[in-house]
Amino acid sequence: METMPQKSANWPLKIIAILAILYTLQVARDVMLPITLALIFSLLLSPVVSRLQALRLPRSLAALLVMGVCLGIAGAGVYALAKPASEWLQRVPEAVEIVREQLSSVNADSPDVDAATRSIDSLAEELSTTPGNPGLTKVVISDAGWRSELGETAKNFGVYGTLSIILLFFLLTSGEALMRRFIHSLPTQRDKAVVTRIAERAQTQMSRYLMTITAVNVSVGCITALALYVLDFPDPALWGAVAALLRYIPYLGVSMTLILLSIVSAVSYPTAAAMIVVPVSYGLFTAGIGQFVDPFVHGFRFSLNPIVVFLWIFFWGWLWGAPGVLLAVPLLTLFQVVCQHTERLLPIAHIIGNTDD
């Protein structure tokens, strides 16, 4: 048994080990992201593949069928929404100009608004290709710009997405056999039982989380798109899909959607009264969802402390960027399962879980 001085001496080593793990996760981001995505989706789709296998369908064929259906639905959605999304990206400069004009007309006497308008005017003059003073010679350093960065991101997404799909297929076809061999290699029966419980609980918890939250988000997206269509909002299907996708980010996703709808309203409608209809309606709708639907969903799924969730999202966003934000809650769910079934980590599970006992 370790004495108190020995335990105190181990703390620096533990801190160094944690920092080394964090550094490795950040440096190996391009490798870890495809693996993490494949593992999460294998936990979601593996029960479906097993049910098809129980119907005497070969497991490899069942995996191909399930993956084909999922990829077909995702591909059809991307194809349908790619054109309007591209058009809105091209309208970003126009949106900046319209927002600037709206700031100018809101309250000309307000010093804060005047200061904001002057800042935007100054930025627009700096970015303009026509110099304000013909006596000055501007030296412009060529920059790839955000469009080039977006293209590079799409390229990386395609490469790593393909790797994730290939790895997902192998996990769906051979993952269970690999897990059985790993459990069989453990030295004690107690270790085998613990790992078995963790694997089963992780699969159940993750499948329940993703299926439930996906059903809610798709419903919210469809209702949002239908309401936007009734309100004659431009490209309602696109913004309904954005609303559904961003809801996978707890707390922040709804705010991001609200900001986007406000900007599009400012670009699309001529009067201030018309501009606030869609953002206010969406805000009231999501407030109702958060008040009545989300508590039931969270109670059915699992209970997590909202402070921990919020900090966890920021942590993975800092570590892996936008993909980390989307993967944060699934990773927290898996971490909670591991803590619940590991004796030394039970205090952490109690902190993560939003329990009163």
pLDDT for 67: 93
- Structure-token pair, residue 225: 């798109």
The per-residue pLDDT for 129 is: 46
**Rounded-to-integer distance, Cα 43 and Cα 179, Å:** 12
* pLDDT for the residue 19: 83
Cα separation, 48 vs 246, whole angstroms: 26
CA pair distance 269, 278, nearest whole angstrom = 11
Burial track 109-125 (b if 16+ CB lie within 10 A, e otherwise): eeeebeebbeebeeeee
Residue 342 phi, psi dihedral angles, 5° rounding = -120, 120
Give the single-character DSSP code of 247: T
- Across the 357 residues of the chain, what is the mean pLDDT of every consecutive 10-residue run? 56 81 83 88 87 90 93 88 82 70 59 54 49 51 56 70 89 87 87 85 80 88 93 90 88 86 84 84 88 66 72 87 84 84 83 61
* Per-residue model confidence (pLDDT) at position 119: 56
Reading the block at residue 296, the tokens are 């039931």
- pLDDT on residue 347: 86
* pLDDT of 297: 64
Q: Which is nearest to 303 in space by CA: 258, 263, 337?
A: 337
Question: Which amino acid, 331?
Answer: L
- What is the rounded CA–CA span in Å between residue 326 and residue 243? 14
In the prediction, which pLDDT does 298 show?
A: 57
Using DSSP, state whether 138 is helix, strand or coil.
coil
**For the whole model, what pTM was predicted?**
0.72
Please answer whether residues 88 and 235 qualify as being in contact, where contact means their C-beta atoms are separated by less than 8 angstroms: yes
Cα 343 off chain centre by: 31
Please give the Cα distance from 59 to 173 (Å, whole number). Answer: 6
Q: Is 234 exposed, middle or buried (0-12, 13-18, 19+ CB in 10 A)?
A: middle
- pLDDT, position 84: 85
- CA of 135: how far to CAs of 56, 113, 140, in Å? 81, 31, 16
**Distance (Å, rounded) from C-alpha 314 to C-alpha 329?**
11
